[in-house]
Amino acid sequence: MYKHDGWHLLPGAPKTWYTAFFGGWAAVVPENDTMSHQVDRVACPCRPFWDPLHNILQHYAFDGRDLIERLERGFPIR
């Protein structure tokens, strides 16, 4: 769903999330985002949140979909 010459979101691409599993922990990353993520790094430009209780690295979407999803669920934006 990406153009390979710059990783731009193609029109009509689904905005979903995927989980990458590593040895004992996982990363939740937005698919088809406007920029690429360093999935296995806390130093990703999106400044992901590490959840030590569940061993999950939660990435944030560059296109803002996580903020929209929080608003739709009635949660405040952090």
Sorting pLDDT into bands at 50, 70 and 90, what band is 70? confident
Burial of 54 (C-beta count, 10 Å sphere; 0-12/13-18/19+): exposed
Grouping H, G, I as helix, E, B as strand and the rest as coil, residue 66 is helix
If one compares 13 and 43, the residue with the highest pLDDT of the two is 43
Average pLDDT, the chain: 83
Domain residue spans in the chain?
17-72
Unique residue bearing structure tokens 């990406």: 2
Span 25-54, pLDDT tens digits: 999 999 989 999 999 999 999 999 999 999
> What is the spatial distance between Cα 48 and Cα 30, in angstroms, rounded to a whole number?
11
Q: For the whole prediction, is pTM greater than 0.85?
A: no
